[in-house]
Structure formats: structure tokens, C-alpha cells
Amino acid sequence: MSRLLQLTLGVVTAIGGFVDIGNLVTSGITGARFGTSLTWAIVLGTLGMTIFAEMAGRVSAVGGRAVFHAVRERLGVRTALVNVIASGLLSLLTLAAELGGVSLVLQLATGINYIVWVPVVGLSTWLVVWRLPFSFLENVFGLLGLALIVFVIALFKLPTDWHVMWHGATHPSVPYGEGHPTYFFYAISLFGAAMVPYQLVFFSSGGREEKWNESSIGEMRLNSIVGLPLGGLLSIAIMWATVPVLQPLQVDVTHLGQVALPVAQALGVTGLALALLGFFAATFAAAAESALTMGYMVSQYFGRTWGKMHRPAQAPLFHLVCLVSVITATAFILTTVDPVTVTIVSVVLGAAAVPLTYFPVLVVANDREYMGEHVNKAVSNTFGVVFLIIMVVTSLATLPLLFITKAGQ
């Protein structure tokens, strides 16, 4: 039982980080538009995230350094300042998207316009970040987020042509009527949704909150190797569930409600209610995580006390940054900017920003002085470098594709 509880940090990171509003929307869009042909992008992103999360977790447990400690130490103050500002703005955008996402879920559940919910959601997020213990966040939302398994069940109840789906996934090609730039734009959005920097920062900082040490490496590996692929599996299930229902109808997914329709068709009211519960848990957990990440990044960069384990009086900068971030993101969504558009922009820009956050982790994971016998082995380094190259290529391609495709139109 205690082993099961140990997995929850990985699970909540997977659910809240992997399957957040970004993945719900991009998986829905890509499934309805490209079938299963972009499954590889989720698999690639999941693998990359798992490798780097394990590395960051190890650096956190053995080296005692969270990601932005490593960033400042290895990139220097000036480059790290650019990094902390850019990553901060990106996380703020993600936070706004998540707050909008939670509000959209509440609109689906109640019929009351999402704008009414935005201040309530903002306040609730701040209260969770401020008052509730870290274990509550990981246990409650981790377990509630598992409701998204209804998408896996729905796949078996829908008229799924497994042969065609599998063929589409294993022989990826650009569907008729779609251009290569659009196809790769959405590939990047799926990759970016899987590898958003805030996940890595939250995972490693969460490890410090959980007081990981050398003896926690096994637990940390289970978290990253089981929890994160579970998030990837759920993302694939969401993508695949839309294929037999929305693709034949030529539906262009632009709203969260459309993503839930395959579950309603397969499982009726109960399934739909569970899907909404899963959406809520995933987006709310991600909102809390991205708010905490803002506090982690800024406090770690400036070398101040940080973490939910400290009371506001002991870690004033950390709690102040969390509060200001929630207020700013809430105000941004209250301008009535479309949360789904904010989501797509945030995951795509996230893909452009990943190398700066991931590179220092690879560097520190190779420092025997910090890591001792837990220094990176050749396998981790090989995968780490391959993914770093992929990240750099992705990062260079992101902005041109954003403009050429007019954000995927």
C-alpha cells in the first residue's frame, strides 16, 4: 500500500502535467484531424519526459538541487535570468490556460458561463497552493485524475477499427487535404505538451518537498517510469477515442466539450460524468502545479527559501510569487481571451523553450562531485543527448511553423 502511495507523485505529475488542458485539446484536435498518425509525437514526448524527469529527480534526490538551482549554476546569472523570465512568462501563460480550462469544465458541468467561474477557480487555486499540504495535492488529484481512464474504456466500446488505427499509428503519413507544415505544427504541439518545462521543475522541486534522498531513488524511478507513461497512455487514448467518432464527421475540435463526446457516445451519462471529473482533476492539478512552479523558479533562481513545506512567513518570496501569478493569470483569462487558443500558443512556445531548461539538468547529472555513484550512465547520456538534439531542432522549427500555418489553421 505504501508503495502505491509512493507512486502518486509521479501519477499527479503525469495527470496534471501530461494530461492538462494542453493535452486534452491537442490530443482531441489531432485525433479528429489526423487520425492516429501523430501518435508517434506523444510517444516521443513521453519518452523524452520520462528520461529527463528521472535525471532531474536523481539530481534532486542525490545532488540536492532542483532544476533552477542547476540552471543558475550552469548557465550563469545572465543567461539564467533570460531563462527564468522566459520560463516564467511561459508558465504564467500555462497557468492562465489551466485556470481557463478548469472554468470550461465547470461550465460543462453546470451550464454557467466559464467567465463567472474564473475568479472562483483562481481563488480556489491560490487557497490550495497556500493552505493545503503537498500530500493532499498529490493524493487527491492524482486519484481523481485517474477517472480519465474512461477514454481507454470508451475505445473498447466504440466501433474502433483496431487494424486501421494501429496501421495509422505505425505508418504515419500526412492525411489527404492536410499540408506537411500543419502536420508538423501539431506534432510539435503534442511534443511540447508532453515536455513543457513546468513539469520538470515541478517534478524535481516536488522531490525536494518530499525530502527525497539517495534512498528515495527507487521510489523516484517508479514515479517517473510508471506515472509519466500513464499520462502518455491517457493522451493517446484521448486522441484515439476521437478517431472513430469525430474524424468521419470532419469535426474540427475547438472546444473542450467536443473532446468529451466520444465518451458520451460509448458510455453514456456515467462515462461523461467521469470524463468531466477527470478533466477537472487534471486541469486543476496542473493549475496548482504551474502556480507552484512560478514560485519554485523565482525563489530557486534568487536562492531564497522555497516550498509548500514552509509557512508564508518563512518563504515570503515563494508565496508572494505564487499569489501574484494566480492573480495575473486570472486577470488575463478575465479579458475573455479564448482559453483554448492560449493553450495552443503556450504548448507551442513551450516546445521552443525546452532546451534551456533541460540542458543544465543533463550537465549536472554528469557531475560526479554532486552525483557520486549516481552520475549519469552511458545509456542516460545517449538518450539525453538524442532528445536534446530533437528539442533544439523542434525549438528552431516552432516559430516558422507557427507563422506559416497561422497557428495550425
Partner 1 sequence: MSALLADWIERVPRRPTRSLTAARPSDPTSRWVRSYPEPRRWEAMDRSARTTAVARALGTLATAALVLPALTGCVSPAIDDAGYRGKAVHSVDQMLGIVNTARLAVRLDLRGRMIESVTDTVVSDAENDAQSVLSAFETVQPPSERMVLLRSTVDTPLQDAASNISDLRIAERRNERPGERKALGELAKSVAELQKLQARL
Which residues are near partner 1 by CB under 8 A?
69, 73-79, 81-82, 85-86, 107-111, 245, 249-252, 254-255, 257-258, 260-261, 264-265, 268-269, 272-273, 276, 301-303, 362-363, 366-370, 375-378, 381-382, 384-385, 399, 403, 406, 409
Q: Are 246 and 265 in contact (CB under 8 A)?
A: no
d(CA 365, CA 346): 28
Q: Closer CB to partner 1, residue 14 or residue 260? A: 260
HSE-up (13 A, CA, CB side) for residue 3: 4
The total number of residues shown for the chain amounts to 409
Q: Are 337 and 51 in contact (CB under 8 A)?
A: no
Q: Closer CB to partner 1, residue 1 or residue 269? A: 269
Q: How far is the CB of 39 from partner 1 (least distance, A)?
A: 22
Q: Are 330 and 99 in contact (CB under 8 A)?
A: yes
d(CA 347, CA 91): 10
Q: Closer CB to partner 1, residue 74 or residue 221? A: 74
Q: Are 59 and 365 in contact (CB under 8 A)?
A: yes
Q: Which of 347, 48, 337 is nearest to 186 (CA)?
A: 347
Q: Which residues are CB-contacts of 139 (< 8 A; sequence separation ≥ 6)?
A: 5, 8, 12
Q: How far is the CB of 159 from partner 1 (least distance, A)?
A: 14
Q: Closer CB to partner 1, residue 4 or residue 156? A: 156
Cell numbers at 379, concatenated: 545509456
Distances in Å between the Cα of 157 and the Cα atoms of 162, 235, 245, 282, 305 are 12, 18, 12, 23, 51
Q: How far is the CB of 89 from partner 1 (least distance, A)?
A: 8
d(CA 381, CA 383): 5
Q: How far is the CB of 143 from partner 1 (least distance, A)?
A: 22
Q: How far is the CB of 332 from partner 1 (least distance, A)?
A: 15
Question: In 302-377, where does DSSP find H-type helix?
Answer: 316-334, 339-364, 368-371
Can you tell me which residue has the cell 482531441?
28
Q: How far is the CB of 322 from partner 1 (least distance, A)?
A: 19
Q: How far is the CB of 294 from partner 1 (least distance, A)?
A: 17
Q: Which residues are CB-contacts of 305 (< 8 A; sequence separation ≥ 6)?
A: 299, 314, 315, 317, 318
Q: How far is the CB of 257 from partner 1 (least distance, A)?
A: 4
Q: Closer CB to partner 1, residue 232 or residue 307? A: 307
Instruction: Indicate the SS3 state at residue 37.
Output: coil
Can you tell me which residue has the cell 518570496?
317
Q: Are 357 and 200 in contact (CB under 8 A)?
A: yes
Q: Closer CB to partner 1, residue 108 or residue 292? A: 108
Q: How far is the CB of 154 from partner 1 (least distance, A)?
A: 12
Question: What is the maximal distance between C-alpha atoms in the chain?
Answer: 59
Q: Closer CB to partner 1, residue 311 or residue 406? A: 406
Beta carbons within 10 angstroms of residue 320's beta carbon: 14
DSSP annotation of 407: T
Q: Closer CB to partner 1, residue 221 or residue 255? A: 255
Cell numbers at 81, concatenated: 535570468
HSE-up (13 A, CA, CB side) for residue 294: 28
Q: Closer CB to partner 1, residue 17 or residue 295? A: 295
Q: How far is the CB of 266 from partner 1 (least distance, A)?
A: 9
Q: Closer CB to partner 1, residue 82 or residue 127? A: 82
Q: How far is the CB of 3 from partner 1 (least distance, A)?
A: 32
Q: Closer CB to partner 1, residue 88 or residue 172? A: 88
